[in-house]
Amino acid sequence: MKGKQLSIDKRKRREAYGFILPAFLYMLLVLGYPLIYNVFLSFKNVNVKNLTKGGSVFVGLQNYIELFQNDTFLLVIKNTFVFTIACLIFQFTIGFAFAIFFYQKFRLSGPIRGMVLVSYMMPMAVTGLLGKNIFSNLGLINNLLSKIGITGPEWLVNTSTALIAVIIMNCWVGIPFNMLLLISGLTSISGEVYESASIDGANWGQRFVFITLPMMKGSMLAVLMLGFIYTFRAFDLMYIMTAGGPLNSTDVLGTYSYMLSFTQFQFSKGSAVAMVLFVCLFIVGLFYLHLLSKEDD
């Protein structure tokens, strides 16, 4: 009897593996192969002279060592983290505030919420061009500032302000995305919980801290993780607004890797930068999975 049960279990497991196999093969082909190829590329010295003619050799960690000794790359790493963290903070807090605001039932809530989504629906290339115009020296922002007697900075020209301008434009796109996901999280909280809390005498702040925040933990985590991944691999916005300049002040890992690989044909160095980008996102992904499993426990 026991033996029969074991055989059924084994068959079921085999069937289960069978179902997983197509997805596994697909992942291996579409994700695994490029990734492994990229890892190999980053340990070689493939460049414009030997890509097709051959003669590239294994150089170990040399590309990585050279990158981490390069001031530009260190600036790019700094830019990427500053950009990602600043965007996450502003997108999340403003997005959350918008979510709570638009969750309230009031007239025109729906149409206004729809209008807020316009920036999210716009292609990033268009957003980049808009940003380039809005933040130009004589653009909309400086024009408005001059009306209240403030001389606006040369946003996209100064190395200290160019990244701020790009962050603002990215937040403009990211806020509706955060708002949408957080509103769906808010709708999942039963109204009865708030009702009973009100009966118990909880004020708005207490309801927010002790009900909304804990019950939104899953949604918040998902929004933050997705936001991090989406923002960390940013490319098109800075590529169009500033082309990574001036003086690499808006270059991030994505644009830098692209420039090395496709403009300067230093394929191995470009791959090494892409690997750094991948490792950072992989760590964040593992952290997310760890938190999810902890929550399940």
Of 90-98, 191-199, 255-263, 288-296, the segment contacting another protein by CB under 8 A is 255-263
Indicate the residue among 6 and 27 with the shorter CB distance to another protein.
Answer: 27
User: To 5 degrees, how large is the angle CA 265–CA 269–CA 274?
Assistant: 105
Indicate the residue among 18 and 205 with the shorter CB distance to another protein.
Answer: 18
**Residue 90 contacts residue 242 (beta carbons within 8 Å):** no
Structure tokens at 206: 């207490």
Of 61-69, 121-129, 202-210, 241-249, the segment contacting another protein by CB under 8 A is 241-249
Shortest Å, Cβ 78 to another protein: 17
Shortest Å, Cβ 162 to another protein: 9
* 266: CB partners within 8 A, 6+ apart: 47, 48, 260
Which helix (H) or strand (E) segment is 55 a member of? none
* Residue among 131, 227, 244, 254 that touches another protein (CB under 8 A): 244
Structure tokens at 96: 């959350």
Enter the DSSP assignment of 232: H
| Alpha carbon distance 261, 265 (integer Å) | 5
Enter the DSSP assignment of 154: -
Q: Does 138 bind another protein (CB under 8 A)?
A: yes
Shortest Å, Cβ 126 to another protein: 15
Residues that bind another protein (CB under 8 A): 15, 18-19, 21-23, 25-26, 29, 48-49, 51-53, 132, 136-138, 154, 156-159, 242-248, 259, 261-266
